[in-house]
Structures are given as structure tokens and as C-alpha cells.
Amino acid sequence: MELVYPYDFRLTEKEKTNICYLSFPDSYSGGLGDSQFSFRLRQSGGQRNTHFGDDGEYNREAPLTLQRESAHYFGYVYFRQVKDSSMKRGYFQKSLVLVSRLPYVNLFQSLLQLIAPEYFDKLEPCLEAVCNEIDQWPPPVPGQTLNLPVMGIVIQVRIPSRVDKPGSSPLKQFNQENLLPAPLVLPSVQELDLFRCFQSVLIHIQMLWELMLLGEPIVVMAPSPTISSEMVLALTSCLTPLKYCCDYRPYFTIHDSEFKEYTTRTQAPPNIVVGVTNPFFIKTLQHWPHLLRIGELKMSGDLPKQVKVKKLTKLKTLDTKPGIYTSYKTFLHKDKTLIKRLLKGIQRKRPSEVQSALLRRHLLELTQSFIIPLEHYIASLMPLQRAITPWKNPPQIRPFRQEDFMKTLEHAGPQLTCVLKGDWLGLYRRFFKSPNFDGWYRQRHKEMTQKLEALHLEAICEANIVAWMKDKSEVEIVDLVLKLREKLIRARCHPLPVKEETLQRVGLYIETIIGSLPEDLQTVLHHH
């Protein structure tokens, strides 16, 4: 590793080693020139301060799929390999890597396309100048369009927000502001060209969506880190707006510090999608239940050759043909209308981004059809508002009972919004065992608990505190002061969906209550 910038950024030795191995193709690739790919790396060596101040505020407003990660780094790589007789190996090989906690693959890869060629030419001074410019960039605020100046160009991009309507196009929300020179407008910070990524597996999109939904272990075997990382990221984006809660590695090498953990046969494969290029993995990961082998991506005027589903026993260690090697049987039937629409698009030479939008819309509607019944059921577990009284702890959220949920499906199941037939009940039962259900349920439960807290604070604000205090002992009143203070601290530390004026009124209530007590107690409580 020649250089780390900023100089004060601390990486552990383990992280440095992993980054070095992940920044180069793992197996011989004869391709000369430049290529770009990405990886995801587990942080080692405890928590570190970020340069961004409050992660919490960003994560509360960003879509779940774009939150800043606390335990992983994303690496965005620009790799150059050109013939150079002055080098020992006869080649110049170098990578410029951008490391971030944000999954903004489009923004960071576009940035590298501008910086890397200049850096390889002019080296460190160029990087220092670029980093000084990036230091001046505003922090990413969900819902805002940012203008980011770098090397005489302005990159314009909108940061998605949690309140955006799923599936809406960010392009229409841009404000051009008559910038000169005209900005480089990115349609999205993170969306990939799904149609290009999935072109050889379009007829199996249903199966891949189910495997991702259920958090199944999948190996993506590709000819290059670029294809492997794009396919893994495309797969993890399949479930939007549901967050994919399992681990994923867009590109993984045999030198990785987690290699032993993933290849061990003493326990079941982990819930992870891993992208690899070294054929050696076919042998070491033979016991994994699903392997997707893809070839080079070639966009032709016709429907690209579709891979076949094959039995795992057909896996040949070195000469493995493209295909999905699995014994998985889908719960839902294939959607033939989607394939027909995409085919029509190919015949009419529709642009790839239009085909991608069709595909994204299909996957979004599929996920929403699956998740809406769960959302309706979990909302019914919330206590009624009238059950929330000011002077008692708020009632508990009722437990999630799988069988009760299953009973709701007959009248309010996915069939209301989705034409696909199949064993939806079986799919839900498998989903309940997956990390994605666990992640979804924890997130919803946390949001509902915060909503209850907020409703309770509002109920306290609307109550007549003086009337309540009339027949209460000092012990009860002091107890209320301490409880209200604790509530206020919690509301400030984990911002609740509650107005600032409500919190101020609770603060005034506390002062009013303390003011009604004897002076010695007032002194104690003011110091407390």
C-alpha cells in the first residue's frame, strides 16, 4: 500500500492486508486497460470515530438500504493494467481505492473515473488537490440535491430519502440552477443497470428474488471482479424497499481473512452472497446450496443466452459452464409477462435504462406484495391510542404470532396486489426463519416502541398536572419527576417522532412539579 489519504486515517494491519488483496483481480485476467469493481470489508479492531459527526441523523432519514454501515467498509476500486517493459513483470498494475461507509456505488465509481486517470499520471499532488476539494463537500443529507465540485467539474446527484415514494425517478426532482459549466448529472447515487447485470438470468429472476428474500447462501462465480461485484450488488438491491439483512461480499479472494470461516465444512454455510472469480472456489465451496456461474456480459441485439438451472452434482471443478447450480424449487410460478415485455423491449431496441426500470418496478411490486400483509398485521399489534394514559406506563405491543398472521392471508394476502400464483404460505414460513424477517421485525418493533413513547409524552402534555398532584404524596411526586426526566433524556438521545414544543412542555411540567415541593427537596432535585 503506497499511500493512504487522509494521512491520519487509521486502518488496522488486517484491514490493510485485506484491502490490498481485494484491490486486484484474484485470478489471471488477460484484459489490459482499466476496470472498476467494488468490495465490502468487515471492520476489525473495534469502533472508530467517523469524520461525519452524527451518523444517527443521516441513518434516520436515509432509506434502510442506504444507511451508513458501522461494522463494514465499502471499497470502490479503479484498476489499471498496461504493458510496461520498464516494470519487472512487464506490466504496470495499480489500483486507486476509495473507502467509505456509504453504499453509493454510482457516485464513487463516477468520481474514480475522473480522479484515477489523473492520479496515475500525476501521482500524489493530484490526490492531495482532489481530497482538499472533497473536504469542502457538504455532508449527504437525504432528500437534498448536492452539487459536488471536483477537478473543474460539478457532479450533481440527489441523496434519496426515506420519505421518497418507492420507485419514483430521482431525475425529475433535480433543480438545474443554471450551473456553468453544465454539471455531470448522475441519475442515482447507487442504482445499477439491472437489465445488463441480470441479462443472462432474466428467466430465473423469480428464483433469485426468492433466494435473496430467504437469505440463502449463494456463490456468484464470475470471470472478473467487475462482473462479480455488479451481480452481487444487483442481487442485494432486488428486495428494495426491504433491507437485505445478511452479509454480502461483492468480491472475495482466497487471501481474505474470512476465507476459513466461509469455506469450513464443519458447519452450515453462512447466510451470505459472495462474489468470486478464482475457479478454486468451485472446489472449496462445493457444499454451498446455490452457485450462480456467469460468463462475460455481452449486450447484443437479441435476448442474451439464458443460463440453465442444473443439479449441484453437475459441478465440474475447473470447466464449469454458466448456469444456476441448485436443487431449490421455487414457491411461486414464473412471471411470463415480464419476460415477454423485456423481449419486446429488446426487439424495439429500447434503451437499457428503460428495461432496467421495468425490471426494478417488477421486483419492487413483488416485494411490496409480499411485505404489505406483514405491515398490516404488525400495525394491528399496536395498542389503541385510547389505551395510552398519562400516569401509567404505555401498554405493550402485542407479540407477533405467526399462525395468527397466516390466518389473515386468506382475505388480505399478496393475491390482492400480485397476479403470481404459487405457495405463498410456504414462502412466508421459510421467510420467518431468515435473517431478513428478523431484521425487518426488529426495525418495525423499534419504530412502534418509539411511536408509543411519543404518544405517551403527548398524553402527559395534555393532562392536568396540578389536579393530579393534589392527593399525591411527596414520594409519588418525586418518582414522577425522575420518570419524566428519564423520558425526556431518552427522547433527546433517540429522537422520537414528537414535536419539539411537546418536549419543551414536558420540561416546563417538570419545573412546575419541582416548584410545588418543599425547598430542601427542590435543591436536591435541581442538583440531581
Sequence-distant (≥ 6) Cβ neighbours of residue 473 within 8 angstroms: none
pLDDT tens column, 146-174: 999 999 899 999 999 988 887 665 554 45
CA-based nearest residue to 103, from 142, 59, 69: 69
C-alpha cell at 421: 400464483
- CA distance readout (Å), 502 to 60, 98, 458, 462, 488: 20, 43, 7, 10, 10
Q: What φ, ψ does residue 175 adopt, rounded to 5°?
A: -120, 115
Burial of 348 (0-12, 13-18, 19+ CB in 10 A): exposed
CA-based nearest residue to 70, from 55, 51, 52, 57: 55
Helix ranges restricted to H, 41-122 = 55-61, 105-122
Other CB atoms within 10 Å distance of the CB of residue 54: 10
pLDDT at 24 over 80: yes
Of 51 and 418, more confident: 418
pLDDT tens column, 454-513: 888 888 877 777 777 777 787 877 887 788 888 888 877 777 777 888 788 878 878 878
pLDDT at 451 over 60: yes
Sequence-distant (≥ 6) Cβ neighbours of residue 125 within 8 angstroms: none
Sequence-distant (≥ 6) Cβ neighbours of residue 490 within 8 angstroms: 453, 496
- The residue written with cell numbers 443466452 in the block is 305
Could you give the strand order of the β-sheet that contains 153-158, starting from the edge strand earlier in sequence? 145-150, 153-158, 184-185
pLDDT of residue 47: 60
pLDDT tens column, 123-132: 788 888 898 9
pLDDT at 178 over 70: no
- For residues 456 and 479, what is the distance between their CA atoms, to the nearest angstrom? 17
pLDDT of residue 173: 46
- For residues 376 and 467, what is the distance between their CA atoms, to the nearest angstrom? 39
pLDDT tens column, 329-339: 999 998 889 98
CA-based nearest residue to 150, from 127, 175, 170: 127
pLDDT of residue 362: 94
Question: Residue range 106-121: average pLDDT?
Answer: 93
pLDDT at 88 over 70: yes
Sequence-distant (≥ 6) Cβ neighbours of residue 306 within 8 angstroms: 200, 201, 202, 203, 204
pLDDT at 176 over 70: no
pLDDT at 432 over 60: yes
Written as one letter, the residue type at 468 is: W
- For residues 101 and 139, what is the distance between their CA atoms, to the nearest angstrom? 13
CA-based nearest residue to 525, from 490, 487, 469, 483: 483
Please tell me the total number of residues recorded for the chain in this structure. Answer: 528
Could you give the strand order of the β-sheet that contains 290-293, starting from the edge strand earlier in sequence? 247-249, 272-276, 218-221, 290-293, 323-326, 309-310
H/E run at residue 514:
helix 500-515
Tell me the angle at which helices 205-213 and 225-237 cross, rounded to the nearest 10 degrees: 70
Q: What φ, ψ does residue 8 adopt, rounded to 5°?
A: -85, 5
The answer to whether 297 and 199 are in contact (CB under 8 A) is yes
The lowest-confidence range among 67-71, 243-247, 363-367 is 67-71
- Percent of the chain at pLDDT above 70? 92
Q: How confident is the model at residue 356 (pLDDT cuts 50, 70, 90)?
A: very high
- For residues 354 and 345, what is the distance between their CA atoms, to the nearest angstrom? 8
HSE-CB of 73 using CA atoms within 13 angstroms: 22
pTM of structure: 0.89
> Which DSSP symbol is given to 416?
G
pLDDT of residue 30: 60
pLDDT at 238 over 50: yes
H/E run at residue 346:
helix 336-347
- For residues 465 and 483, what is the distance between their CA atoms, to the nearest angstrom? 14
Q: What percent of the residues of the chain are helix, what percent strand, and what percent coil, each to the nearest 5?
A: 45, 15, 40
Question: Residue range 42-48: average pLDDT?
Answer: 74
The mean of the pLDDT values for the chain is 86
